Structure 1
Amino acid sequence: MSPEHGARRSQVVMVEPALTQLAKLTASETHRLDRAIVAISVNPELGTEVPGTLLRDYMDEIDAIRVIYYVTALRTITIVAYIEA
């Protein structure tokens, strides 16, 4: 990676019920969620593994955001299954 470029990010896709939750968030909550999504897209290992599944659970205690997601095999797409703010 050249010094002028940052880390490669995966494309983020939200599915139900994440889309339903997203529609209920305030502007402030959406802003906090955006920061969490960017962090996850750059480093999908941030979340902890959910035993027995492909899911990962990311909790940001400072921003009070929780994202449950999984990453495709090639790590090019992050699929968000659930958000909580």
Structure 2
Amino acid sequence: MSPDRGPRRARVVIVEPALSQLEKLTASETHRLDRAIVAISVNPDLGTPVPDTLLRDYTDDIDAVRVVYYVTALRTLTIVAYVEA
């Protein structure tokens, strides 16, 4: 019997503008942001839709991070376009 693995996570890809932003973050900020990205990969519906776009905007007030992303049609890939910590 296989173990219960929980929900399947989407693969996360970070595009160039967000990669540039990541390079400027401290280790603490990167750690907080990582938790938000993991949460999004498990549940891509966490963010709120950005009107008239395919983008979603997720803000975690506890960790003080923001991620703007979109999810592919099959929900197997999450593309991170913007990060803020």
TM-score, length of structure 1 as denominator length? 0.95
Structure 1 runs of 4+ aligned residues shifted over 3 Å read none
Q: Which runs of 5 or more residues in structure 2 are unaligned?
A: none
Alignment of 1:1-85 (within 5 A): 4-85=4-85
Q: Distance in 2 between matches of 1:50 and 1:72?
A: 15
1:12-42 residue CA offsets vs partner (Å, 9 max, x unmatched): 0001210000001100001001100000000
Deviation at 1:79?
A: 0.0
User: In structure 1, the residue corresponding to 2:9 is in which secondary structure?
Assistant: coil
Q: Distance in 2 between matches of 1:31 and 1:7?
A: 22
User: In structure 1, the residue corresponding to 2:16 is in which secondary structure?
Assistant: coil
Deviation at 1:3?
A: 6.1
Q: Percent identity?
A: 80
What is the Cα-based RMSD across aligned positions, in Å?
1.1
Deviation at 1:4?
A: 1.7
TM-score, length of structure 2 as denominator length? 0.95
